[in-house]
């Protein structure tokens, strides 16, 4: 946040100075010469191969690229014509901006823009001899249904602006009806309620709503019979024509009316009474003058895409014509981006403010309209102009329901849709825009609100002073930022940093934090050495002398300098504070305790052969996997990837439920994103949706890194197919982890000024965050070792699940259809795989405390001089190994990130974990194996409050403390952990969940595990006799035993 404030301030200055750039280009006389009436070519995947990144071939492709790069050096301007769907207004400002700012001329185009000239004029491009038209999507489908040969090339509006509104009409409608919830959606329209429409014909959205709720009506032409319906008094709705004049709505006492957010509502809000005051307002439910806004998109599930762009099929006849389309879209999108970032400049193009009252009012209206149009366009989830397949298919279904589509197949599929719409031109335009450094997503627009109206001293409606003051501030910034402003900003940042540091220190000094000593010996060495270095003269205090003695004793007893000595502490654990089940779990999964299957002495067979240091375990496993894949890569076929078919271009389009649209913008940005709720909204491709949103919108990685989105989609589909088994480790958990990792990295500002190498590392980290859930069997590594499973044997009992997931994931990446980094050099691909392997292996709980120690020793030490606020600058300048440590800890934080969610959501995740653990305990019991800690269904599990207190104290809070030490803006996450811990303690005190009862037998087994590290003598078994016999018989017949494989085992 701190770094973000500073970055935002600098970006504002840059943008404001950029406002002065650009020159207006006078459009010359247009000569028709582009379109012919020759038959259009057949529609095939080859038609667009020249447009797709990485698929251009030969001289024709070179010529096409040259045309795209022609710019101001072009010999002549090619004439093209755009037909608007209505009169000139801010609804089409992007196209006018592209013409006036010279963006069309940059692409060697001379574009004429024609007014629609009447109702829905923008769809009759044949009669107007126009190249481009602007239909609503269902209108486009109706043209196709009627035999027209058009192609839909772009979906400009990403969300609908059509609404219906509730008017505060005295005597007709209770002005507080919204507050009383008498009309929640269109289904509540009844008893002959009067409903305003602009003309006596029912438009498509209303047709759909009438059929959806089975409403009867009168006062308009019934589209099914093509006859006017007179009123008898028994209808649910009486339509009243207000004739596009919103002032009639109030005088005619119409309780409800339809209109556009950017047009009719704006005009209504500008109306004043006899005293010169505004007659209406919005967003104040219960007020006598309030207008209620009903979004059919949200409350009635009405999915009807609005303004798009269509062309004649014949314009796709050759490469040059196709590139004309790309050039038109490139310039048009640039115009829309300009209007997004410079609203007032674009409004002045549409409605110059010359001073008279009428022009001032029109300028104010167009300012309102520009904001609402921008809100309909931005944020663009996967980039400006991209279609949403779900909405497209829904529009076709609505067309069939209302009878406007009669020739479409009974089952409208994505294959059928892909034959009439395309993303190819938009994708090629995206590459050019990104290369110019333009933002094609506009993610920051999620928080934009509508324009507020005020009355000037002359009584003329205008934009409120707050926006005007912002304009003055922009002008001042363009002239020069006063030194006082800069000083104030620096003081504010310094104060903000101080407050964060103080808050973080308070959180870390919380007396509720565990009393266990989690410092590794090497950390103690560092701390003592720092004290010794700071001593002046020969003044060695008794306290320091004693600390040195304690350090010497700790070093003598330590088995690993990077691991805290928890064994003896767990022997003396206070079971009134932490459960003995948790102690057993910690010994089995995170420490040097034995994990064999006999007599409770559970020990890694290869612990001495492969230590946990990064130079042994991680690196050895990394080399093994890289060798396995490098050998396979040598035999990779050289055959080209299959041609992209049109339906494949839809594979990366996100299908998002309307209610999830707002939640989507939290993904990858908010660490407290509720993925469980988001996943419950019916998205069948959750991981694909989340990944593409993060890769394209949040971090903008796809185009700059030349990632093949088609192959990335295939890669994610393959991973999704292997994430449907366990209760916890599944697609939801993977999506949740990636979202939180992305949010934490963005929160720290770590990739604000990333190099290409850093971006590749970020891409590897994001993929690494989801890999552990791929092919995860819902069993811990300890289970595989105890059972001597095939996976445990294959990977030498080291990071069993992680190695198995990695091996399976890298096999998917080897598939030519899934290798989304194929455009990279061999060195870049190898670096990506190496990073992926190290990050995934580092997420193993077995390496938890070692990772904490290495992070503290390397990262915390190196950032001490940066004061937290400039930690992102440190991140950009540090070496690869240090960055990997930061990314490893971020991934571990993401994996345990449910602890930073609101308590009720956090509890849901904990319950899922407990369900999965109990299933493992059931299997262990059935196999006669000792039941692992926290997995015995007959005892309180991981959802027990006492266990959760210990889990947060020992596992979770320390990792967030370390991360927040470096990136202090995340202190809110640490605070939420502490709050959740307090709530678990409260539930324990209230007896909400049964307390774990101390079990002498269990603790004897725990003690045996711990002491076995010092003594090889057999400890008392915690197994029953039959179970012990079963284990012994398994060991005696190991050469005959063939363990059952789990999915993904090699």
H, E, C per residue of 755-798: CHHHHHHHHHHHHHCCHHHCCCCCCCHHHHHHHCCHHHHHCCCC
Q: Which residue has the tokens 């770094």?
A: 3
Q: Which residue has the tokens 């602890």?
A: 899
pTM here is 0.64
Going 171 to 172 to 175 to 180, the CA torsion angle's sign is positive
Within 8 A by CB and 6+ apart from 766, the residues are: 691, 694, 695, 699, 738, 741, 742
Here the tokens at position 978 are 């502490």
322: in domain: yes
**Exposed e or buried b for every residue in 623-643, given b needs 16+ CB within 10 A?**
ebbbeebeeeeeeeeeeeeee
Residue 281 pairs in a beta bridge with 290
Helix (H) or strand (E) holding 751: none
166: in domain: yes
Residues 286 and 292: their CA atoms lie apart, in Å, by 10
What is the band of 873 on the pLDDT scale with cuts at 50, 70, 90? low
- 729 is annotated as an active-site residue: yes
Same domain, 897 and 753: yes
CA 223 to chain centroid: 42
436: in domain: yes
Number of CB atoms found within 10 A of residue 517's CB? 12
Which of 465, 492, 508 is where one domain is finished?
508
Least confident segment among 268-282, 532-546, 835-849, 1019-1033: 1019-1033
Render pLDDT for 660-674 as a digit per residue (tens, 0 to 9). 777 888 899 999 999
Here the tokens at position 1027 are 């179970």
What is the band of 509 on the pLDDT scale with cuts at 50, 70, 90? low
Residue 491 has a pLDDT of 64
363: in domain: no
Number of CB atoms found within 10 A of residue 998's CB? 12
Residue 731 pairs in a beta bridge with none
Residue 805: closest CA among 611, 605, 621: 621
Residue 611: closest CA among 553, 565, 559: 559
Render pLDDT for 45-82 as a digit per residue (tens, 0 to 9). 333 333 333 333 333 333 343 344 444 568 889 999 99
Going from the C-alpha of 380 to that of each of 352, 375, 661, 712, the distances in angstroms are 28, 10, 11, 20
Residue 857 has a pLDDT of 75
Same domain, 168 and 155: no
| Inter-axis angle of helices 880-895 and 826-841, nearest 10 | 50
Render pLDDT for 784-812 as a digit per residue (tens, 0 to 9). 999 999 999 999 999 999 999 999 999 99
Same domain, 172 and 273: yes
Domain extent for 60: 33-160+305-342+381-448
- The catalytic position among 363, 629, 729, 896 is 729
Residue 659: closest CA among 333, 307, 302: 302
Task: Give yes or no for a contact between 388 and 119, defined as CB atoms under 8 angstroms apart.
Answer: no
φ, ψ of residue 454 to 5 degrees: the values are -135, 165
Same domain, 280 and 314: no
564: in domain: no
Q: Would you call the peptide bond into 379 cis, given omega within 30 degrees of 0 as the criterion?
A: yes
CATH number at residue 387: 3.40.190.10
844: in domain: yes
Same domain, 438 and 495: no
Residues 322 and 801: their CA atoms lie apart, in Å, by 49
CATH number at residue 876: 1.10.1300.10
Least confident segment among 444-453, 488-497, 964-973: 488-497
pLDDT at 172 exceeding the cut of 50: no
Least confident segment among 323-332, 419-428, 709-718, 847-856: 847-856
Task: Give yes or no for a contact between 242 and 196, defined as CB atoms under 8 angstroms apart.
Answer: yes
Percent of the chain scored above 90 by pLDDT? 42
Burial label, 992 (beta-carbon count in 10 A; 0-12, 13-18, 19+): exposed
Task: Give yes or no for a contact between 84 and 122, defined as CB atoms under 8 angstroms apart.
Answer: yes
90: in domain: yes
1050: in domain: no
Same domain, 126 and 64: yes
What is the rounded radius of gyration, in angstroms, for the C-alpha atoms of the chain?
33
Same domain, 133 and 204: no
Same domain, 700 and 831: yes
Same domain, 903 and 978: yes
Within 8 A by CB and 6+ apart from 871, the residues are: 3, 748, 863, 966, 967, 968
Domain count, the chain: 4
| Cα-based angle 731, 734, 740 (whole degrees, multiple of 5) | 140
φ, ψ of residue 218 to 5 degrees: the values are -150, 170
Number of CB atoms found within 10 A of residue 280's CB? 22
Percent of the chain scored above 70 by pLDDT? 65
Binding-site entries for Zn(2+): 733, 773
Here the tokens at position 587 are 């010994």
Q: In what order do the strands lie in the sheet with 217-218?
A: 217-218, 237-241, 193-197, 256-260, 162-166, 290-294, 281-282
Binding-site entries: 733, 773
Query: In 3-state terms, what secondary structure has residue 752?
Result: coil
Q: Which residue has the tokens 């840059």?
A: 14
Residues 606 and 785: their CA atoms lie apart, in Å, by 11
Residue 131 has a pLDDT of 93
Q: What is the DSSP letter of 234?
A: -
Residues 890 and 897: their CA atoms lie apart, in Å, by 10
Task: Give yes or no for a contact between 141 and 395, defined as CB atoms under 8 angstroms apart.
Answer: yes
Same domain, 174 and 54: no
As a whole number, mean pLDDT of residues 989-998 equals 56
Same domain, 1019 and 904: yes
Within 8 A by CB and 6+ apart from 371, the residues are: 343, 448, 450, 451
Residue 697 has a pLDDT of 86
Residue 841 has a pLDDT of 92
Which of 299, 322, 354 is where one domain is finished?
299
pLDDT at 3 exceeding the cut of 60: no
pLDDT at 648 exceeding the cut of 70: no
Residue 632 has a pLDDT of 39
Q: What is the DSSP letter of 880?
A: H
Residues 5 and 23: their CA atoms lie apart, in Å, by 31
Least confident segment among 106-110, 190-194, 600-604, 716-720: 600-604
Same domain, 229 and 287: yes
Residues 590 and 341: their CA atoms lie apart, in Å, by 51
Residue 308 has a pLDDT of 96
């Amino acid at each position: 946040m701190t770094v973000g404030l500073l970055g935002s301030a600098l970006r504002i200055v840059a943008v404001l100075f950029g406002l002065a750039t650009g020159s207006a280009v006078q459009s010359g006389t247009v000569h028709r010469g582009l379109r012919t009436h020759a038959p259009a070519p057949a529609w095939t995947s080859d038609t667009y191969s020249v447009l797709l990144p990485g698929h251009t071939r030969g001289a024709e492709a070179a010529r096409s690229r040259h045309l795209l790069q022609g710019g101001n050096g072009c010999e002549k301007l090619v004439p093209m014509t755009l037909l608007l769907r209505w009169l000139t207004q801010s609804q089409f400002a992007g196209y006018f901006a592209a013409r006036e700012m010279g963006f069309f001329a940059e692409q060697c185009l001379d574009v004429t823009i024609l007014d629609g000239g009447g109702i829905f004029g923008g769809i009759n491009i044949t009669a107007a001899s126009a190249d481009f038209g602007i239909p609503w999507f269902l209108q486009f489908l109706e043209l196709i249904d009627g035999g027209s040969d058009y192609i839909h090339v772009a979906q400009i509006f990403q969300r609908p602006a059509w609404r219906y509104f509730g008017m505060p009409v005295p005597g007709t409608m209770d002005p507080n009806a919204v507050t009383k919830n008498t009309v929640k959606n269109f289904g509540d329209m009844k008893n002959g309620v009067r409903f305003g429409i602009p003309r006596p014909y029912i438009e498509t959205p209303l047709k759909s709503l009438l059929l959806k709720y089975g409403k009867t009506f009168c006062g308009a032409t019934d589209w099914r019979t093509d006859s006017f319906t007179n009123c008898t008094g028994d209808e649910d709705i009486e339509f009243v024509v207000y004739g596009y004049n919103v002032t009639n709505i109030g005088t005619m006492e119409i309780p409800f009316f339809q209109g556009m957010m950017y047009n009719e509502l704006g005009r209504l809000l500008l109306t004043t009474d006899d005293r010169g005051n505004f007659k209406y307002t919005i967003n104040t439910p219960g007020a006598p003058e309030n207008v209620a806004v009903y979004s059919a998109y949200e409350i009635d599930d009405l999915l009807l895409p609005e303004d798009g762009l269509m062309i004649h099929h014949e314009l796709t006849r050759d490469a040059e014509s196709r590139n004309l389309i790309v050039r038109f879209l490139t310039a048009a999108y640039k115009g829309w981006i300009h209007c997004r970032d410079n609203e007032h400049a674009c409004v002045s193009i549409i409605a110059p403010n010359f001073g008279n009252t009428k022009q001032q009012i029109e300028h104010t209206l167009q300012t309102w309209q520009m904001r609402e149009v921008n809100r309909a366009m931005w944020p663009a989830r996967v980039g400006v102009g991209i279609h949403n397949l779900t909405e497209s298919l829904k529009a076709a279904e609505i067309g069939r329901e209302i009878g406007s589509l009669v020739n479409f197949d009974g089952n409208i599929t994505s294959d059928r849709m892909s034959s009439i719409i395309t993303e190819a031109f938009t994708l090629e335009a995206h590459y050019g825009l990104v290369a110019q450094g333009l933002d094609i997503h506009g993610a920051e627009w999620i928080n934009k609100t509508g324009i507020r109206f005020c009355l000037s001293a002359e009584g003329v409606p205008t934009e409120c002073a707050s926006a005007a003051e912002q304009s003055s501030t922009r002008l001042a910034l363009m002239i020069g930022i006063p030194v006082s402003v800069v000083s104030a900003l620096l003081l504010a940042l310094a104060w903000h940093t101080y407050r964060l540091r103080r808050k973080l220190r308070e959180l870390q000094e919380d007396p509720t934090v565990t009393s266990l000593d989690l410092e590794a010996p090497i950390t103690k060495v560092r701390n003592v050495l720092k004290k010794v270095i700071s001593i002046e003269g020969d003044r060695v205090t008794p306290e320091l002398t004693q600390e040195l003695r304690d350090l010497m004793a700790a070093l003598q007893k330590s088995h690993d300098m990077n691991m805290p000595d928890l064994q003896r502490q767990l022997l003396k654990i206070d079971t009134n504070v932490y459960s003995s089940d948790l102690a057993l779990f910690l010994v089995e999964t995170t420490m040097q305790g034995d994990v064999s299957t006999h007599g409770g002495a559970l020990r890694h067979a290869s612990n001495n052969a492969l230590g946990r240091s990064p130079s042994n375990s991680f690196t050895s496993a990394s080399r093994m996997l890289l060798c396995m894949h490098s050998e396979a890569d040598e035999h990779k076929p050289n055959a080209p990837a299959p041609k992209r078919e049109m339906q494949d271009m839809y594979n990366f389009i996100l299908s998002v439920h309307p209610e999830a649209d707002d939640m989507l913008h939290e993904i990858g940005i908010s660490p407290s994103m509720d993925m469980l709720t988001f996943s419950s909204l019916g998205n069948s491709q959750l991981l694909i949706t989340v990944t593409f949103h993060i890769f394209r919108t949040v971090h903008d990685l796809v185009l700059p890194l030349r990632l093949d989105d088609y192959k990335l989609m295939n890669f994610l589909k393959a991973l999704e197919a292997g994430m449907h088994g366990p209760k916890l480790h599944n697609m939801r958990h993977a999506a949740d982890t990636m979202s939180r990792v992305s949010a934490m990295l963005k929160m720290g500002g770590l990739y604000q000024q990333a190099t290409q190498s850093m971006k590749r590392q970020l891409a590897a980290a994001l993929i690494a965050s989801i890999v552990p859930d791929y092919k995860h069997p819902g069993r811990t590594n300890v289970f595989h070792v105890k059972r001597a499973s095939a996976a445990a044997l294959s990977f030498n009992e080291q990071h069993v699940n992680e190695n198995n997931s990695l091996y399976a994931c890298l096999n998917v990446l080897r598939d030519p259809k899934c290798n989304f980094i194929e455009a990279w050099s061999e060195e870049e691909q190898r670096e990506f795989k190496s990073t992926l392997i190290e990050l995934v292996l580092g997420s193993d709980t077995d390496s938890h405390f070692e990772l904490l120690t290495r992070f503290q020793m390397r990262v915390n030490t190196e950032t001490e001089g940066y004061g937290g606020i400039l930690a992102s600058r440190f991140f950009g300048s540090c070496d690869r190994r240090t960055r990997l440590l930061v990314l490893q800890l971020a991934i571990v934080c993401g994996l345990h990130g449910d602890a930073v969610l609101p308590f009720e959501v956090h509890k849901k995740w904990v319950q899922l974990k407990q369900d999965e653990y109990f299933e493992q305990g059931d299997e262990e019991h059935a196999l006669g194996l000792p039941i692992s800690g926290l997995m015995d269904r007959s005892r309180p599990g991981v959802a027990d409050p006492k266990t959760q207190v210990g889990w947060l104290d020992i596992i979770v809070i320390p990792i967030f403390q370390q991360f927040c030490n470096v990136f202090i803006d995340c202190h809110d996450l640490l605070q939420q952990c502490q709050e959740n811990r307090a709530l678990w303690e409260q539930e324990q005190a209230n007896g909400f969940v049964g307390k774990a009862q101390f079990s002498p037998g269990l603790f004897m087994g725990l003690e045996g595990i711990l002491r076995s590290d010092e003594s090889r003598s057999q400890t008392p078994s915690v197994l029953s006799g039959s179970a012990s016999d079963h284990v012994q018989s398994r060991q005696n017949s190991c050469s005959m035993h063939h363990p059952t494989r789990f999915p993904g085992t090699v």
